[in-house]
A and B are shown apart, each in its own frame.
Chain A
Amino acid sequence: MISRQVSERIAFGVISLTAVLVILPIVGIIAYIVVEGAGAISWSFLSEMPRDGMKAGGLLPAIIGTLALTVGTAIVAVPIGLGAAIYLSEYSKDNATTRAIRIAIINLAGIPSVVYGLFGLGLFVIFLNFGTSIVAGSLTLGIMTLPVIISTAEEALRAVPQSFRLVSTSLGGTRLQTIRRVVLPQALPGIITGIILGIERAAGETAPILFTAAAFFLPKLPSSIFDQTMALPYHLFVISTQVPGMPLQIQYGTAMVLLTFVLSLNLIATLIRRYYRQKRVW
Chain B
Amino acid sequence: MTEDQPSSSGIGAAQGVATSSRGARAPSGSLAERLIGRAIQVTGISTVVMVVLIFAFLIREGLPAFVRVPLSSLLSARWYPIEGYFGLLPLIAGSLIVTVGAALIALPLGVATAIFIAEIIPDWARDILKPVVEVLAGIPSVVIGFIGMLVIVPAFRVALDIPTGLTAFTGIVLLAWMALPTVVSVVEDVLDTVPKTYREAGLALGMSRWQTIAKIVVPAGKSGILTALMLGVGRAIGETMTVMMVTGNAPRLPSSPFDIFQPARTMTATIAAEMGEVAQGSTHYHVLFAVGLTLFVITFAINMAAAMVVFRRTKRAERMLS
Q: Which residues of A contact B (CB under 8 A)?
A: 4-5, 7-8, 11-12, 14-16, 18-19, 22-23, 25-27, 29-30, 32-33, 79-80, 82-84, 86-94, 97-119, 121-123, 126-127, 143, 146-148, 150-152, 154-155, 158, 162, 165, 169, 173-179, 194, 197, 200-201, 203-207, 210-211, 233-234, 236-237, 240-241, 248, 251, 255, 258-259, 262-263, 265-266, 270
Chain B interface mostly: helix
Q: Among B15, B36, B307, which residue has its beta carbon within 8 angstroms of that of A158?
A: B15
Given contacts A33-B143, A108-B47, contact A158 B14 (CB under 8 A): yes
Query: Does the CB pair A123–B53 fall under 8 Å?
Result: yes
Query: Does the CB pair A143–B50 fall under 8 Å?
Result: yes
Interface presence of B268 (CB below 8 A): yes
Query: Does the CB pair A109–B303 fall under 8 Å?
Result: yes
On chain A, the residues within 8 Å of B289 by CB distance are 118, 122
Given contacts A15-B120, A80-B46, contact A29 B61 (CB under 8 A): no
Query: Does the CB pair B143–A211 fall under 8 Å?
Result: no
Over the window 289-317 of chain B, the binary record of Cβ atoms lying under 8 Å from chain A Cβ atoms (1 yes, 0 no) is 10010011001101110110000000000
Query: Does the CB pair A12–B120 fall under 8 Å?
Result: yes
Chain B interface residue bracket vs A: 35 or more
Q: Among A33, A101, A111, which residue has its beta carbon within 8 angstroms of that of B54?
A: A111
Given contacts A84-B44, A106-B307, A115-B296, contact A204 B143 (CB under 8 A): yes
Query: Does the CB pair A113–B240 fall under 8 Å?
Result: yes
Query: Does the CB pair B147–A33 fall under 8 Å?
Result: yes
On chain A, the residues within 8 Å of B144 by CB distance are 29
Give 6 closest A-B pairs by Cβ, nearest first.
A112-B238, A83-B43, A204-B140, A87-B44, A19-B116, A174-B29
Query: Does the CB pair A207–B240 fall under 8 Å?
Result: yes
Query: In the complex, what distance in Å separates the CA atom of A120 from the CA atom of B228?
Result: 29
Query: In the complex, what distance in Å separates the CA atom of A102 from the CA atom of B275?
Result: 31
Query: Does the CB pair B29–A233 fall under 8 Å?
Result: no
Query: In the complex, what distance in Å separates the CA atom of A83 from the CA atom of B45?
Result: 10
Question: Which B-chain residue is minimally distant from A270 (CB atoms)?
Answer: B131
Interface presence of B209 (CB below 8 A): yes
Question: Which B-chain residue is minimally distant from A239 (CB atoms)?
Answer: B146
Query: In the complex, what distance in Å separates the CA atom of A82 from the CA atom of B36?
Result: 13
Query: Does the CB pair A90–B23 fall under 8 Å?
Result: yes
Given contacts A112-B240, A113-B238, contact A22 B120 (CB under 8 A): no
Number of A-B residue pairs at CB separation under 8 A: 330
- Find the residue from B1, B51, B303 having the highest chain A CB count within 10 A: B51
Query: Does the CB pair B275–A174 fall under 8 Å?
Result: no
On chain B, the residues within 8 Å of A150 by CB distance are 47
On chain B, the residues within 8 Å of A83 by CB distance are 39-40, 42-44
Query: In the complex, what distance in Å separates the CA atom of A120 from the CA atom of B147?
Result: 28
Q: Among B18, B109, B276, which residue has its beta carbon within 8 angstroms of that of A94?
A: B18
Query: Does the CB pair A237–B241 fall under 8 Å?
Result: yes
Q: Among B21, B47, B272, B304, which residue has its beta carbon within 8 angstroms of that of A146?
A: B47
Query: Does the CB pair A7–B5 fall under 8 Å?
Result: no
Could you tell me the distance in whole angstroms from the C-beta of B245 to the nearest C-beta in chain A? 6
On chain B, the residues within 8 Å of A203 by CB distance are 140
Known pairs A18-B112, A107-B303. 5 more at Cβ < 8 A? A107-B304, A111-B299, A112-B239, A122-B61, A146-B47
Query: Does the CB pair B143–A94 fall under 8 Å?
Result: no
On chain A, the residues within 8 Å of B288 by CB distance are 118
